[in-house]
Amino acid sequence: MTMFFEIRSRIFAAVFMLLICSFPSKIAFAEDFALWLSTLRAEAEERGIRPEILEAALRDVEPHGRVIELDRSQPEFTLSFDEYLARVVPTTRIERGRKKLGKNQKLLEAVATRYGVQPRFLVALWGIETDFGRLTGGFSVIQALVTLAHDERRSAYFRKELLAALQILNEGHIAPNVMMGSWAGAMGQNQFMPTTFVGFAVDHDGDGKQDIWTSRGDVFASAANYLAKSGWRGDETWGRAVSLPENFAISLVGLEIEKSIDEWQRLGVRRSNGEDLPKANIRGSIVRAEDDRGPAFLVYGNYRALLTWNRSTFFAVAVGMLADQIGGR
């Protein structure tokens, strides 16, 4: 029994010492964060952010452990293009997209007339980004960005995003307690980062707010404005799946190589069903879904605009293919 109490005493002592030793580091972290937050407040005030906005947004804010965990985590496996497509463009999303297109046709056509972006692409982006507004993220944007801006890994980038988020609050587009988004700070039904919001968000419904959280008009118009300013052309599509001849040179694959459709036709490129390419005065490039393998696509300028939204071949092709399915092409 005496040995038992001795062992237990040693365990308690070890735990106590561990807790005691951890206090200085916790205190140091708290002091460092308080100083950092004070500096941030001063910079925000210099940029014209009102004190009451800073108080409402930053009161009791502290780093969020789950945000750091998600930022550090790496995928356990990489999806193939087919697996990605099955996940992002399932039959259920195509069917829902067609219904959403019909239900919002009048609004989408008004946006298309103003910005020159076809409705099917706006619905496809909406579907892929947030499942048509259903999954917009459950993190406080301010807390997430405070966490990532204070963290050393990408502090400069996220500090810029945080200051933009505070500007959005200062302009009255949304209140701090309902400014929700992803763990990385992407917001609303089209998942704009704050700097993207500042550059491209639109008040389509005329209520004085650029509301990408609840106003579908603002969501569609903001997405269309982004694409239009990224070089989108309303009289062209994104591209199409193609088949390549057996002897097709790998050096011809890539966005840096542009040729007319007639030139690609002469090089043996055909539609995926083997038919001739369309007769159109447009230039395009050949890309493959997975570098030098996987499905091939002849892509145009609008594909490049989609890449400015998300620099992923999988993403841009998926948006294009979903848009085609939604539009019945």
* The token pair that represents 176 in the structure block: 């701090």
Does the residue 169 lie in any domain?
A: yes
What per-residue confidence (pLDDT) applies to 67? 95
SS3 288: strand
Domain-embedded: residue 172: yes
Q: Which residues, other chains included, contact 145 with Cβ-Cβ below 8 Å and sequence gap of 6+? A: 158, 161, 162, 165, 185, 194
On whether the CB atoms of residues 128 and 315 are closer than 8 A, the answer is: yes
Residue 48 belongs to a domain: yes
Backbone angles phi, psi at 270, to 5 degrees: -135, 165
> In 3-state terms, what secondary structure has residue 3?
helix
**How far is Cα 183 from Cα 123, in angstroms, rounded to an integer?**
24
Whether 170 is covered by a domain: the verdict is: yes
pLDDT of residue 294: 84
Identify the DSSP state of 253. Answer: B
Number of domains in the chain: 1
Mean pLDDT of 296-311: 97
- Tokens 């001849």 -> residue: 245
pLDDT in tens, 48-88: 999 999 999 999 999 999 999 999 886 656 789 999 999 99
Token pair recorded at residue 261:
């459709």
Mean pLDDT across the stretch 29-37? 85
In a domain, residue 157? The reply is yes
Exposure of 161 by Cβ count < 10 A (0-12 exposed, 13-18 middle, 19+ buried)?
buried
DSSP alpha helix (H) spans, 151-282: 155-170, 194-200, 216-229, 261-266
CA 91 – CA 15 distance, rounded (Å): 55
294 lies in some domain: no
Q: Is residue 230 part of a domain?
A: no
For residue 231, the tally of other CB atoms under 10 A from its CB is 11
Domain span holding position 52: 32-61+137-187
CA angle 227/228/233 to nearest 5° reads 100
In a domain, 93, yes or no: no
Give the β-pairing of 259-260 and 283-290.
Answer: antiparallel
Token pair 């799946």 is found at: 241
Instruction: Look at residue 37 and tell me whether its pLDDT is greater than 80.
Output: yes
Q: Residue 228 has which token pair?
A: 């239009």
* Residue 18 pLDDT greater than 60, yes or no: no
Averaged pLDDT score across all residues of the chain = 91
pLDDT of 19: 46
Query: How many Å apart are CA 103 and CA 245, to the nearest integer?
Result: 42
Residue 146's pLDDT is what?
97
Q: Note the pLDDT of residue 75.
A: 62
Q: Could you tell me the two tokens for 144?
A: 């997430």
Cβ contact 208:243 at 8 Å:
no
Neighbours of 232 (CB within 10 A): 23
- Neighbouring residues of 326: CB distance < 8 A, sequence distance ≥ 6: 94, 97, 98, 101, 120, 123, 124, 127
